[in-house]
Chains A and B, each alone.
Chain A
């Protein structure tokens, strides 16, 4: 991706969604723990927003609040999501709120979960889940219609159609994650919350998933993505803009290239400096510190530059 182009590109985009003043707590004990403290976000049409921060900073909690799937002990105390000309109250203080949010889930805002490995019931064929997801928002959808849509989507993404007849245990981790990605986007959601979708994958599966997500955005299958991860190298490849989160708050936002190269907030600088650099220079420095021969065979060359996403093509 040409990050230099990202900021101007964003300026041209219409606003897809605005999240305002989201506050979340984990309750049930003697004291509530505030996990998200008054976060507001804005996302443009066709934009991928990277949400980064260390473990426990509230990224996943914010993602759950946006996807309207917070269940006790997590409570969304306040917050609104403006999308498609509608302002959705995100608060979940009663069971009725959970029911109120159901029609938005999967269609207006969809979720690509962190635990995709176990996201499919072990006794359910993929095709049954596909039908259930399609029927969730339109009970008239027949099994054949649902499967036709899924087949078209799989062909478009160059994935094997026979996967639909499988059970979860018959798929590899990478294939399961990609299949969940397809199912999460079957309803052409306006906004996709991708919660650490690459964290449990090997590098080649990570790459396949990232390329697939980019292709989906390119094909306008979803209108925007909030990509939650602590993996900054992945985010730098995927996202148009970054939001850095710490202790339940957004401390800095900006175009990805600008934020990576010229971070303004101390926490962002600390976070970026913590990323391991697999270059020859770093490797040699580590060997010298350990008192080993720095001249031994090591990484031949600095890591290849990240593949660029063609923002203009979208």
Chain B
């Protein structure tokens, strides 16, 4: 047998055992990315409507320029609103959930188990179904404490906080349980107070998880459409989700390319963060159910 035939034979075996996997993966990758390629290429056309037929037939940056300069669609304000609301919600909700999770994980008190059960149950009430009540609370606040009423960022942040605590606390409770209790016992014997144990030992140990939970909360909040759309009614108050919706709400509008540009700008940082932190995110999502 010559070297050539050995190589050929090896290649044949390789393609039978491994090579076809690349082929299937390639097909799946095409399925996974073609909508994103479509929106990216649409954002680079000067057609305006949805009639973009070929991928990357054009390279036109005008949509990005127009969108960032637009007066009728204050995109930069939307970006800022979204960033402000989502990051504050993420930071505050992670902190509050961590406090509650610490209590559930480390302290023993009456009503601990029913409390946990109630948390799981209450967060199953879908936020869309509570819209009437949420609207009622906010419009009452508008009359008396306008700073946190309808049309304000803080009002929406409070609503998000109320909604995110249940799930957040429960997930974090799982992670806190994985931190060995012997650590805090040792610290306690050394004379540490509960605040020292909490802030300087536990929170530091779970800080990667806190970051991931914060990121997940950020993504979730910035993607919300329904609550934001009932709280805000002025273009300058919109978040990205609501604002981009108004851009294409008219079916005959020629804003499709503008929308595409807006979508690409808004999605890029989130996609990059997500992909680079995917390992942690998966563990955050599964709540320790799967040890990957």
The answer to whether A and B interact is no
Chain A residues engaging chain B, CB cutoff 8 angstroms:
none
